[in-house]
Chains A and B, each alone.
Chain A
Amino acid sequence: MSVIYLDNNATTKVDPKVLEAILPFLQEDYGNPSGMYTFAGKIMHYIDTARQQVASLLNADPDEILFTSCGTESDNTALMAALESYPEKRHIVTTRVEHSAILNMCKHLARKGYSITYLPVDREGMIDLDELNASITPSTAIVSIMYANNETGVVYPIDEIARIVKAKGALFHTDAVQAVGKLPIDLRKTPIDLLSMSGHKIHAPKGIGALYVRKGTRFQPYVIGGHQEEGRRGGTENVASIVGLGLACEIAGSHMEYENTEVKRLRDKLEKTLLEKIPSSLLNGHKDSRLPNTTNISFEFIEGEAILLLLDEHKVCASSGSACTSGAIEPSHVLRAMGVPFTAAHGSIRFSLSRYTTEDEIDRVIELLPPIIERLRQMSPFWHKQASQTS
């Protein structure tokens, strides 16, 4: 029995071609790109190529890409760069459903005296653009709104959002970690100032990310050190992973259509069948404006960890919005912000597919999950009471 991996929003398998491209830089080509000899100097050429590959996927200029260690570093850098560049502006606008790389940084900044506006979302996870427009003031340094949500896959109207923010004169950052490689992004058309992405969500290794910084945007480094990345990010380049990220971007570009047709078809099949077969199940997130690979479904009156561990018995990997730890009064800040009733929020499961997902795997999950849900419901003190009330 092999693993059925449906947790690709958490991390992805490294593409074998990417692995092959990486290995020489962990073996014979280990020089430091700053070295004054051919053995090292030639390495810079590979970094340039990777920068070009990343830029191509986003339709950006290679000079606008800087390599970081991960999506979190890119997010942190974007916020700090904006605040340091505009010290007189002490307000940030973001949403209640951002990744913790943005939310916890904002909480940290709030303790330092910055004011933060967290835009609410509706039941489908969408923000209100009029509310966004009204929230931006002359003292707003930066607006940070994710391209697509990691838990629900909800995709935000980033083009429209970017125009609203630019008309108001603030910087616009988007955490596009979940969107890059799954949705076409054209930075020559969309006025985004800063964009974060991560390697391990698109079949490159963990520990590599990138930040797009539009030409002409005021910038201050966050990781302070050497002259690397044109002085915008200190630290010896993670050459192998940079090369891997570059190739992963190129491959993602060539699979974009597959992602939005075949992967989406499998996702739709999984989602539609589970919602039909399993009573008291509901979709979390906007029905249409969603990543092609993600579905988040709540199974009422049972708890997510128990579902995951029973799936794990069959080597099916998925994730849950419910973190059943001692302090977990809030099942997930995203579902809670969306107003998902807590009868449903605790039993939410996210399936996220990739180009490696097969139809057989989806069919297997469709077969396995309904009896698992039924089994846990038979154990739940809420199930029969509720079922008899709602039927």
Chain B
Amino acid sequence: MWDYTKKVYDHFLHPRNVGEIENPDAYAEVGNMACGDALTLMLRIDKATQTITEAKFKTFGCASAIASSSVLTELLVGKTIEEARKITNQDIAERLGGLPKEKMHCSVMGQEALEKALAEYLGEEPPEEHTDHEGVIVCKCFGVTDAHIAKVVRENNLHTLGDVINYCKAGGGCGQCHPDIEDIIRQVHGGSVVEQAKPADGKKILTNIEKITLIQKTIEQEIRPQMEADGGGIDLIDVVGNKVLVGLRGTCVGCRTAQFTLKHAVEAKLRELVDEDIFVEEVKQ
């Protein structure tokens, strides 16, 4: 069991500022259900004084994700934009009396949401949020870029691969990127600058997480309603690279034309809206 502080418990059991703001001045969504945590942050900002007057959140995640979001909203109310921009994940963790190191990524998620919301409000590019297109994706499982890893390593003075996994999830999946992450740690502490390659053709490259989200959305909004109209159904099971694994439900199970539907409706739609290299496979029930 996690050794949570009383503060974490307090914010988990009695979260402050849960909810939504109608027509918020600043808004950000970070994380994803596939990763196990996600946060929606909404802010009301007084234009004259550039002060945050109201902050609300909704969080999907564990106790420390909920507590981090709650404490973040508490930190924000009454702050000016300039003051709010200085809030780091460590401020969030400190205000909670500390977090277990395996849970530090929850505080990072809070900081990411804040950065994203303020950048959107100010009309800026999101600075170094890990799902942006700055830098090269190092951790393909969680879609974390080298720039983001370097930032987290620098700001939290991290020295080991385990720390990086705990703080930003990078490297927590298949493990293939571990040597790259170790290189980044060495570069940061050796003082050398991490080179940031940009995609050559300027085309938007999706991170794995963005891709999964988009696939899920496409299935839910474009594909499932049609199939449900015919008494069938479809669930997204997994995404491995460009392979999309789905399960067929209802009358689709055992239907002779199911394979046809899979190729010509599901795959075609995903190729059109997500990525032209996608192929779809059925996971048999």
Looking at B33-41, B183-191, B269-277, the stretch in contact with chain A turns out to be B33-41
Point out the residues of chain A lying under 8 angstroms from B40, CB to CB.
381
Assess whether A331 is interfacial by the CB under 8 Å rule.
yes
Query: What secondary structure prevails in chain A residues at the interface with B?
Result: loop
A385 (CB) vs chain B CBs: closest residue: B220
For A328, list chain B residues within 8 Å (CB). 36, 172
Pair B59/A381 contact, Cβ less than 8 Å: yes
Interface string of B52-65 (1 = CB under 8 A from A): 00000011111101
Say yes or no for A306: interface residue by CB 8 A criterion: yes
Residues of B within 8 A of A305 (CB): 62-63
Once the chains are docked, how many angstroms separate the CA of A317 from the CA of B256?
46
A324 close to B (CB within 8 Å): yes
Judge whether A123 and B173 touch: CB under 8 Å.
no
- Give the shortest distance, in Å, between B116 (CB) and chain A (any CB): 14
Query: A64 to chain B: closest CB distance in Å?
Result: 39
Contact B220 A389 (CB under 8 A): yes
Whether A382 lies near B38 (C-beta < 8 A) is yes
Closest to B8 in A: A309
Complex Cα–Cα for A326 and B102 (A): 6
Enumerate chain B residues within 8 angstroms of A381, measured Cβ to Cβ.
Answer: 29, 38-40, 58-60
- Cα distance A278–B204 in the bound complex, in angstroms: 41
A313 at the interface (CB under 8 A from B): yes
CB nearest neighbor in A for B105: A326
Q: Which of A302, A341, A380, A382 contacts B237 (CB 8 A)?
A: A341
Interface size class of B (residues with CB under 8 A): 35 or more
Q: Which residues of A contact B235 (CB under 8 A)?
A: 339, 341
Chain A: how many interface residues by the 8 Å CB criterion? 30
Chain A nearest Cβ from B59, distance in angstroms = 6
CA–CA, A22 and B60, complex, Å: 47
CA distance A322 to B33 in the complex (A): 12
A382:B33 contact, CB within 8 angstroms: yes
- Kindly provide the distance from the CB of A193 to the nearest chain B CB, expressed in whole angstroms: 31
B148 interfacial by beta-carbon distance below 8 Å: no
Chain A residues with Cβ below 8 Å from B142 are: 329
Query: With the chains together, A341 CA to B24 CA distance in Å?
Result: 32
Whether A342 is near chain B, meaning CB under 8 Å from some CB there, is yes
Whether B34 lies near A342 (C-beta < 8 A) is: yes
> Quick check: A380 and B34 within 8 Å, CB to CB?
no
Bound Cα distance A378, B65 (Å): 15
Judge if A100 is at the interface, Cβ distance under 8 Å: no
Q: Name the residue of chain A whose CB is nearest to the CB of B283.
A: A339
Q: With A326-B165, A327-B172 given, is the CB distance from A303 to B105 under 8 Å?
A: no
Query: Could you tell me which residues of chain A, from 364 to 391, have a CB within 8 Å of some CB in chain B?
Result: 378-382, 389
| Chain A residues packing against B (C-beta within 8 Å) | 122-123, 301-303, 305-306, 309-310, 313, 322, 324-329, 331, 336, 339, 341-343, 346, 378-382, 389
Can you list 5 residue pairs at the A/B interface with Cβ under 8 Å?
A310-B13, A326-B166, A329-B34, A339-B283, A381-B59
Question: Would you list the 7 A-B pairs with minimal beta carbon distance, nearest first?
Answer: A327-B172, A324-B62, A305-B62, A381-B58, A381-B40, A329-B173, A380-B60
